[in-house]
Amino acid sequence: MAEITYLEALREGLAEEMARDDRVFVLGEDVGGFGGAFKVTEGLQQRFGEDRVIDTPIAETAIVGAAAGAAHMGLRPVCEMQFIDFISCAYSILTNYVATARYRAGLATPMVVRGPSGGYVRGGPFHSQNPEAAFLHTPGLKIVAPATARDAKGLIKAAIRDEDPVLYFEHKYLYRRIKEELPAGEEVLTPIGEARVAREGRDLSIITWSAMLWKSLEAAEKLAREDGLSVEVLDLRSLMPMDDAAIVATVRKTNRVLIVHEDTRTGGVAGEITARINDLAFEWLDAPVKRVCAHDVPLPYAPTLEDFVLPQVDDVVAAARWVAKY
Amino acid sequence: MTTTAASPAPPIPAGLTRDQLLELYYFMRLTRSLEEKLVNLYRQTKVVGGLFRSLGQEADAVGSAYALDRSQGDILSPLIRNLGSMLVQGATPLEVLRQYMAKAESPTRGRELNIHFNDLERGFLGQISHLGDMVPVMAGVTLSFRMRRQPRVGLVYVGDGAMSTGAFHEGINFAAVQRLPLVVIAENNGYAYSTPLFRQTAVGHLVEKAAGYGVRGEQADGNDVLAVYQVTRDAVDRARAGEGVTLIELLTYRRKGHAEHDNQSYVSREELTAWAAKDPIDRYLGQLTGSGWATPAELSAIDQRITGEIDAAVALCENEPMPAPGTALDGVTVTPPRAELEWYRRLDG
Amino acid sequence: MAKIDVPMPQMGESIAEGTLSKWLKKVGDPVKRDEPIFEISTDKVDAEIPAPAAGVLAEILVQEGQTVAVQTVVARLETDATVSPQPAAASPQPAAVSPQPAAVSPQPSAVSPAPPAPPAPPAVQPPAVQPSSRPAAQQPSPQPPGPSSLEERLRTKSSPLVRKMAAEHNLDITGIPGSGLAGRVTKNDVLSFLEAGPKSPLPTPQPPVPGPDGVRIVPGPVVEPWDGDRVEPWSRIRKLTADHMVMSRRVSAHVHSLIEVDYTRIAGVRSRQKAAYAERGVNLTFLAFIVSAVAGNLRKHPVLNACVMGESTLYRRDVNLGIAVALDWGLIVPVIRHADELNLLGTARAINDLAERARAKRLSPDEVQKGTFTITNPGVFGTLVGLPILNQPQAAILAVGAIVKRPAVVQAADGSDSIAIRTMGTLAMSYDHRIVDGADGDRFLADLRRTLEEFPEDAG
């Protein structure tokens, strides 16, 4: 079976679910005839019809709200945010209506909101965001962030099948740069709430997700070569729910943790993970939990600025060395 | 004294039957009486949270809701002054009382207040406090009707205030461009809390906004229940026929403050008096008896029945308990089904 | 008959009180259910309040004009019917001030709001590890007293994992060598320690003692006797020696230079002079020659006869040579004062005398003081080379290796080489590189060798 890109894997997952379950439909801006700004939904309207791949006006609140109404009635909508930066336009209806629907009203709302997040593409402040922290603390939402092609497919399928609203944050930098050969003849499903050990190690654990998985793996390689350090890399894959058991297991194994995420530092999810480690695995720590994040600034456009602000492999290496030496 | 054979009663308008006319009265009276009971309970501290009256708007709520076809599965989404709409769709006084009194047995298990509850089977989808949000949601509900080729219609209420929100704009625009079977009723009751209409919008009449969305606009006297019924019925029929969205402006008036704790100091007494004279229930009573469609005795019997129903409901639930504290953790998501207990609560075991 | 409370209602989420503006009924009046019985006035609204049940107004508790908090009982009704108990009192309005969280914390330093007991003290720094047993003659610590520094805390508390492992194995963290940040004990340090040594019960913790120049002394390993072992507590001399040796190694920058000396000539002189010396009551040993040669050369190389004083070099005027004597019970170093003023006979006599009285324990205190250079003689036991530890505060010490006959290459007058049997020995000098550079040491040794290899026949 040939290699496919992260984007193709995502599209494949979408298409498989739409073929398998005719309650699944897609709505968003330019997703139909145009196939989506990044072509994620290319070909879907031709295959499944205008009824099931709907081009909407520029109206994120309406996209999300309509998805909720349709989901109440038993359909399975998959909303696209053209850039995930625009999910904030739907923040109110997502957090006040969608997230609370089951709890306050017993209303089933099985819907997915997905979109390309992340930077390293010289996109400037409004085409590069990582919004997970804004939604992490809202009970009622699930959040996933695939890093591999396999998980891009596995998690979109799982998200569509989940009975709860799921935010699916794919990473635009990975779309065409990550390729993988997916197994033939087997259904690719990634359980939501389950992390994956991407690389085994003994001396230090890096906990990360999305594009930072690849930077962390590169850093781990470098540390093994140059420092003889054995670094374990844990790909969380799901941020809500988070795989506490996997986090505790890796802390118990290496006793030294570095959290790496692309989002800004203050209020970023690394703080939540650190608090959980403190709650669940304090006695296993042989060094303070450190984090590598973006600087606390809006993401600038110029390459020199963006490369400075966002975490790079060398940043991960330097931080890992500090933690390893503590 | 004998009379000559009374002139025959004029034909009942809007294709309604006499029983239906009485039903309309029943729902309007039930709305008002139930709210009055709630006021008493509120002043007796049995109702927690805020209390919102729809005094003066009973016709707008009941008449419009009545135009839906429950047998076809039409669904409406009420606002806070649409208790009448919910009662028409089958919500019960018992449910409403339990909601207001935060009882464990309330439809939302004590999780949401006043009439923010729903039953998609019976045909009502309760709102959230963020005004305008229900318009895109109902667009989604009616989208499902179209996708499933069901001849069902949705109806969503907005107030003069909610029409200013971005959510309203996005929702009606989306419904319009998708030609969804959605009727949007704008209840123009003159005020959004303390903000009068002229501070809310630059248009003279809310119906003018319909043109901005490319939808049909209608306007009617919101205090004339039969007129309300007629205009809504027409819009519902058009929607069911695939003709898309209608925006209906119902002209009415809110005779009480925004909530029971609002003394309406921003409203002149003259204005209130003037509108009291146009009270929808009084007008309808006049219409019913004046046209010979009902007798005062029949209507009085309905009043009694309503009092009995309400008192029975109160008696049934007023001593029911509030939800057990631990139940607060249930049902945020399907998986996991329960939120975690905070660690410091576990210290006592 | 039952009494029902009538409370002041809350008209609005942020309302906390209301004024009872007017009573519509008097005590004793009958009231119907929902009939208004009083009027209230709040910030937002005035209202008539209806009776919650039918009955008689039995008590009025709040008068007209009085302002009371929401939920205050303003009146009581006497009702006929068996009244079902009031439902669980309507809980405070949702927007009411949330109750202070009960400060359920096991930490004594938890801060609770309005505590009945005196407030807990602020979180205390982990106590500096300063038990009562501090070594005597403690130099003033460079660290300030009170809460310990980060270094101290790292050394004693380390990390949660290390503390856990230490507790599990009953170890004292401060007794384990640390390789982590600031000498912190890491997990691997603990593991290595456990692999190396046996598990031991918690001994008296040795405090990490800052040395005179602020250098941290690392306490040694914890040792446990096994079956059959014999424990001998140290004598005073042993303790002094032990302390001195460790201190010396820590304080000075020890460098060792070795030089090989051809003693053949001296051997000759000695054999020829031995008898004459014996008549004078003196045993002429090789050591006497060496001591004599050293004394003379120290005059020419004063830095070898010096010591470090703070950040200065202190050049001693006198040449007082200490001669290390191995006794049954330990090491002692009697001093030959003004050794450079003695001839060979005097030197030999002094050596004999001091050694003899040392063994007899008849040395006076000032005979073991004020040495400026020490000579030790491990060669007497056959040791080829010794690398001694400096006798503080002296800057140099010379170890005399065994003097033996060995084949050596000799050059004849005509330049040809041949093997001859020569009397050879190694001299090893340890010196303090803080003040004695390599060149100084080597030059001294070169001169010393020359002196020894050209020793005059008639030195006595």
Residue B295 lies in a domain: yes
Does the beta-carbon distance from C45 to B263 stay under 8 Å? yes
Higher-pLDDT residue of C129, B330: B330
DSSP secondary-structure letter at A33? Answer: T
Is the pLDDT assigned to residue C331 strictly greater than 50? yes
Nearest residue of B to residue A280, measured between CA atoms = B343
Pairing of strands B246-251, C2-7: unpaired
Return the CATH number at B112. 3.40.50.970
| Minimal C-alpha gap between C245 and chain B (Å) | 56
pTM of this structure: 0.68
Does the beta-carbon distance from A255 to C184 stay under 8 Å? no
**What pLDDT, in 10s, does the model give residues C260-309?**
999 999 999 999 999 999 999 999 999 999 999 999 999 999 999 999 98
Does the beta-carbon distance from A72 to B120 stay under 8 Å? yes
- Residues counted in chain C: 460
Nearest residue of B to residue A68, measured between CA atoms = B137
Is the pLDDT assigned to residue A59 strictly greater than 90? yes
**What pLDDT, in 10s, does the model give residues A141-170?**
999 999 999 999 999 999 999 999 999 999
Q: Is C409 exposed, middle or buried (0-12, 13-18, 19+ CB in 10 A)?
A: exposed
pLDDT at C229: 87
Question: Residue C286: which of C428, C383, C425, C457 has the closest Cα?
Answer: C425
Which distant-in-sequence residues (6+ apart) come within 8 Å of A206 by Cβ?
Answer: A216, A219, A220, A231, A232, A233, A234, A257, A258, A259, A260, A316, A320
Percent of chain B at pLDDT > 90 equals 85
Does the beta-carbon distance from A57 to B339 stay under 8 Å? no
Among the listed ranges B132-146, C235-249, C370-384, C444-458, which one has the minimum average pLDDT value? C235-249
CB C339 within 8 A of CB C347: yes
Does the beta-carbon distance from B44 to C52 stay under 8 Å? yes
Among the listed ranges B286-300, C193-207, C350-364, which one has the minimum average pLDDT value? C193-207
Catalytic residue among A72, A127, A171, A295: A127
Gap between the Cα atoms of A134 and A127, Å rounded: 16
- In this prediction, residues C134-148 reach a mean pLDDT of 44
Mean pLDDT across chain A, nearest whole number? 96
Report which residue type is found at B86: M
Is the pLDDT assigned to residue B4 strictly greater than 70? no
pLDDT at C109: 36
Is the pLDDT assigned to residue A243 strictly greater than 80? yes
Is the pLDDT assigned to residue C132 strictly greater than 50? no
pLDDT at A36: 94
Residue B263 lies in a domain: no
Chains interfacing with A (3 or more CB pairs < 8 Å): B, C
Number of domains in chain B: 1
- In which band, very low, low, confident or very high, does the pLDDT at C201 lie, cut at 50, 70 and 90? very low
Is the pLDDT assigned to residue C144 strictly greater than 50? no
Does the beta-carbon distance from C104 to B347 stay under 8 Å? yes
Q: Locate the domains of chain C by residue range.
A: 2-79, 150-225, 247-453
CA-CA-CA-CA dihedral for C369, C373, C377, C379, to nearest 10: 170
H or E stretch at A160: helix A149-161
- In which band, very low, low, confident or very high, does the pLDDT at C71 lie, cut at 50, 70 and 90? confident
Domain C247-453 has CATH 3.30.559.10: yes
Is the pLDDT assigned to residue B5 strictly greater than 90? no
pLDDT at C99: 36
Higher-pLDDT residue of C213, A279: A279
- In this prediction, residues A45-58 reach a mean pLDDT of 96
What is this model's ipTM? 0.89
- In which band, very low, low, confident or very high, does the pLDDT at C214 lie, cut at 50, 70 and 90? low
Residue B198 lies in a domain: yes
pLDDT at C108: 37
pLDDT at C44: 64
CB A150 within 8 A of CB A9: yes
Higher-pLDDT residue of B123, C178: B123
Does the beta-carbon distance from B46 to C52 stay under 8 Å? yes
Mean pLDDT across chain C, nearest whole number? 80
Q: Is A326 on the interface with C (CB under 8 A)?
A: yes
pLDDT at A204: 98
Which distant-in-sequence residues (6+ apart) come within 8 Å of B52 by Cβ?
Answer: B80, B81, B114, B258, B259, B260
Name the interface residues of B facing C (CB cutoff 8 Å).
40, 42-46, 48-50, 102, 113, 257, 259-263, 318-322, 344, 347
Percent of chain B at pLDDT > 70 equals 97
- In which band, very low, low, confident or very high, does the pLDDT at C37 lie, cut at 50, 70 and 90? very high
Nearest residue of A to residue C162, measured between CA atoms = A286
Catalytic residue among C244, C254, C256, C433: C433
Domain C2-79 has CATH 3.90.550.10: no
pLDDT at C204: 43
Is the pLDDT assigned to residue B1 strictly greater than 80? no
- In this prediction, residues A292-299 reach a mean pLDDT of 94
Q: Give the domain range for residue B245.
A: 14-258+268-346
Distances (CA, A) of A34 to A41, A55, A112, A113: 8, 9, 21, 19
- In this prediction, residues A89-105 reach a mean pLDDT of 97
Q: Is B125 on the interface with A (CB under 8 A)?
A: yes
- In this prediction, residues B95-113 reach a mean pLDDT of 94
**What pLDDT, in 10s, does the model give residues C391-425?**
988 999 999 999 999 999 999 889 999 999 999 99
Which distant-in-sequence residues (6+ apart) come within 8 Å of A82 by Cβ?
Answer: A28, A29, A30, A36, A37, A115
Say which of B129, B135, B333 has its CB closest to residue A140: B333
Residue B334 lies in a domain: yes
pLDDT at C152: 79
Query: Beta-carbon neighbour count of residue B102 at 10 Å?
Result: 24
Query: Read out DSSP for C235-262?
Result: PHHHHHHHHHHHHHHHHS-EEEEEEEEE
pLDDT at B295: 94
Does the beta-carbon distance from C50 to B50 stay under 8 Å? no
* Residue A149 CA to its chain's centroid (Å): 12
- Residues of chain A contacting residue B117, judged by C-beta atoms under 8 Å apart: 105
Q: Is B212 exposed, middle or buried (0-12, 13-18, 19+ CB in 10 A)?
A: middle
Distances (CA, A) of C67 to A227, B166, B302: 75, 43, 42
Chains interfacing with B (3 or more CB pairs < 8 Å): A, C
Q: Is C396 exposed, middle or buried (0-12, 13-18, 19+ CB in 10 A)?
A: buried
CB A207 within 8 A of CB A259: yes
Nearest residue of A to residue C158, measured between CA atoms = A286
Mean pLDDT across chain B, nearest whole number? 94
Gap between the Cα atoms of C275 and C252, Å rounded: 43
pLDDT at C96: 36
Residue B48 lies in a domain: yes
- Residues of chain A contacting residue B174, judged by C-beta atoms under 8 Å apart: 56-57, 59, 62-63, 66
Residue B1 lies in a domain: no
Is the pLDDT assigned to residue B113 strictly greater than 90? no
- In which band, very low, low, confident or very high, does the pLDDT at B349 lie, cut at 50, 70 and 90? low
- In this prediction, residues B210-229 reach a mean pLDDT of 97
pLDDT at C88: 41
- In this prediction, residues B260-285 reach a mean pLDDT of 90
* Residue C442 CA to its chain's centroid (Å): 37
Is the pLDDT assigned to residue C317 strictly greater than 80? yes
Extract the tokens encoding B144. 């499902």
pLDDT at C111: 35
Residue B6 lies in a domain: no
Which spans in chain B are helix H? 18-43, 58-66, 83-88, 93-100, 134-147, 166-177, 197-200, 209-213, 225-240, 269-276, 280-290, 296-317, 343-346
- In this prediction, residues B274-289 reach a mean pLDDT of 94
**What pLDDT, in 10s, does the model give residues C73-112?**
999 999 875 544 444 434 333 333 333 333 333 333 333 3
Pairing of strands A76-80, A24-28: parallel
Does the beta-carbon distance from C161 to A283 stay under 8 Å? yes
Among the listed ranges A122-136, A198-212, B2-16, B248-262, which one has the minimum average pLDDT value? B2-16
Is the pLDDT assigned to residue A239 strictly greater than 60? yes
Among the listed ranges B255-269, C75-89, C383-397, which one has the minimum average pLDDT value? C75-89
pLDDT at C210: 56
- Residues of chain C contacting residue B259, judged by C-beta atoms under 8 Å apart: 12
H or E stretch at C294: helix C286-300
- Preceding amide of C108 cis, omega within 30: no
Does the beta-carbon distance from A59 to B332 stay under 8 Å? no
Question: Residue B234: which of B140, B122, B155, B125 has the closest Cα?
Answer: B155
| Minimal C-alpha gap between B341 and chain C (Å) | 15
Identify whether B266 is a catalytic site residue: yes
Q: What domains appear along chain A, each with residue ranges and CATH number?
A: 3-181 (3.40.50.970), 196-325 (3.40.50.920)
The counts of H helices and E strands in chain B are 13, 7
Among the listed ranges A273-287, C12-26, C388-402, which one has the minimum average pLDDT value? C12-26
Q: Is C190 on the interface with A (CB under 8 A)?
A: no
Q: For chains A and B, count residue pairs whose Cβ atoms are closer than 8 Å.
A: 138
